[in-house]
Amino acid sequence: MHYFCIKFAQVQKKHYLCRVIRINMATSNGKTEISTLGEFGLIRHLTEGIKPVQPSTLKGVGDDAAVMDFGDKQVLMTTDLLLEGIHFNLEYVPLKHLGYKAAVVNFSDIYAMMATPTQITVSLGISKRFSVEDIEELYAGIRLACERYGVDLVGGDTSASMTGLTISITCLGTANKDEIVYRNGAKEHNLICVTGNLGTAYMGLQLLERERLVAQSLNPNGDTPAEALRFEGKEYLLERQLKPEARRDIIEKLREAGIKPTAMMDISDGLSSELMHICNQSNCGCSIYEDKLPIDYQAAVLAEEMNLNIVTCALNGGEDYELLFTCDINDYEKLVPIDDIYIIGHITKPDYGTVLVGRNGEEMMLQAQGWQAFNS
């Protein structure tokens, strides 16, 4: 494909020099494939050297949300883009659940900074395949999430699309000054905590994918009897994949208990990846213990059935939307009474690296897999 490049050189008051240059985009001559950088590398590369100029910008690129100071309250902003075929498969994701999840994952980013989500905007790109009723379903999920979390839907953009469904949601939140928790405050000897359980959303996805393939093989050309699908006893896995919740409850309990984590983020790309973000940004290392990782029994059973290593799923599965945080060891007594928080390790000196201690005491370095869709 060709395109014409019109140069950005101003030659007179209102006119720009238009020099038509042909660039052949099809040849990869001198071009770098995005997969060589990966998602995080690409973002780092693109945002290098950006320096805020607005006095209201407190924190730009590099955390769960940006932070602005507009007066009494600090204001947070986060955004998520979901693309059909990349982030969701409508063969098994109902539109209402998709809407709900698209909103909740943004709320999760705001809670992960110890703040409260307050407003969202929703942009949709919709191909001709979708009817008004389909989009109503999607919106019903978004609106339900807003109701449950007390967030206002304040605007957005709706457009036709050439192919598939695109959902872009941006969320604002607020926090009192000095309440916000960033990723860069972890200190040596801090406890490392996670909430809920890990790898379950990933196992839910494996289950859906397996049943989809079974259904397809039973009837390759059309309707599949619903009875052919075997979700009994595994509903929780589906729920974790299709309808995750943000951990508002944990944020409230931490606040009630008077605990301010030293660093925090939500687990969207997998525990390993998120731990490495905290360690990089806090300039520290960590040790976590395999036998302390909270694993759901349904997830463990399915992993066994499917011949997967549940610990690998817990470390790299992603989409759990649980919280990962570090806190001072003096908060231990206050932490223990809070349900659904698990201490999985502690922060170390930076040169110790990010270490997983196995059940047999063997130490392994963690690998961040993150979002590798650019490779696939």
* Interacting residues with its own copies between 111 and 140 (CB under 8 A): 118-119, 121, 123-126, 128-136, 139
Strand partners, 365: 355
- Give 129 or 255: the residue with its C-beta nearer to its own copies: 129
- Give 36 or 309: the residue with its C-beta nearer to its own copies: 36
- Rounded Cα distance between 7 and 157, Å, is 30
Interface with its own copies in residues 304-363 (CB under 8 A): none
- Rounded Cα distance between 78 and 174, Å, is 12
Strand partners, 265: 324
* Interface region with its own copies, contact rule CB under 8 A, candidates 75-83, 277-285, 329-337, 356-364: 75-83
Helix (H, G, I), strand (E, B) or coil at 127: coil
Instruction: Tell me: does residue 151 bind its own copies (CB under 8 A).
Output: yes
Among 94, 294, 350, 353, binds its own copies (CB under 8 A): 94
- Give 186 or 237: the residue with its C-beta nearer to its own copies: 237
Determine the residue type at 259: I
Among 9, 160, 220, 221, binds its own copies (CB under 8 A): 160
- Rounded Cα distance between 261 and 253, Å, is 12
Among 184, 224, 281, 369, binds its own copies (CB under 8 A): 224
> 211 near 203, Cβ under 8 Å?
no
Instruction: Tell me: does residue 166 bind its own copies (CB under 8 A).
Output: yes
For the bound state, the minimum distance from the C-beta of residue 375 to its own copies, rounded and expressed in Å, comes to 9
For the bound state, the minimum distance from the C-beta of residue 358 to its own copies, rounded and expressed in Å, comes to 29
Interstrand relation of 66-69 and 73-83 (parallel, antiparallel or unpaired): antiparallel
Interface with its own copies in residues 50-69 (CB under 8 A): 50, 52-54, 56-57, 59-61, 65-66, 68
Among 80, 269, 290, 320, binds its own copies (CB under 8 A): 80
Among 194, 223, 333, 362, binds its own copies (CB under 8 A): 223
- Give 32 or 307: the residue with its C-beta nearer to its own copies: 32
Q: Name residue, tokens 């969701």.
A: 88
Cα angle, residue 170 at apex, residues 167 and 174 outer, rounded to 5°:
155
Instruction: Tell me: does residue 231 bind its own copies (CB under 8 A).
Output: yes
Q: Which two tokens stand for residue 250?
A: 């944990």
Instruction: Tell me: does residue 280 bind its own copies (CB under 8 A).
Output: no
End-to-end distance of the chain based on CA atoms, in angstroms? 22
**How far is the CA of 223 from the CAs of 88, 91, 230, in angstroms?**
21, 12, 16
- Phi first, then psi, for residue 251 (nearest 5°) are -60, -45
Q: Which two tokens stand for residue 218?
A: 């039973």
Interface with its own copies in residues 247-266 (CB under 8 A): none
Interface with its own copies in residues 8-47 (CB under 8 A): 8, 14-18, 20-22, 24-25, 28, 30-34, 36-37, 39, 42-43, 45-47
User: How many residues belong to the site for its own copies (CB under 8 A)?
Assistant: 121
- Give 226 or 365: the residue with its C-beta nearer to its own copies: 226
For the bound state, the minimum distance from the C-beta of residue 230 to its own copies, rounded and expressed in Å, comes to 10
- In which element (H, E) is residue 111 found? helix 95-111
Among 101, 183, 243, 253, binds its own copies (CB under 8 A): 243
Q: Which two tokens stand for residue 322?
A: 């649980």
Among 9, 72, 333, 360, binds its own copies (CB under 8 A): 72
50-86 burial, b at 16+ Cβ within 10 Å, e below that, comes to eeeeeeeebbeeebbbbbbeeeebbbbbbebebebee
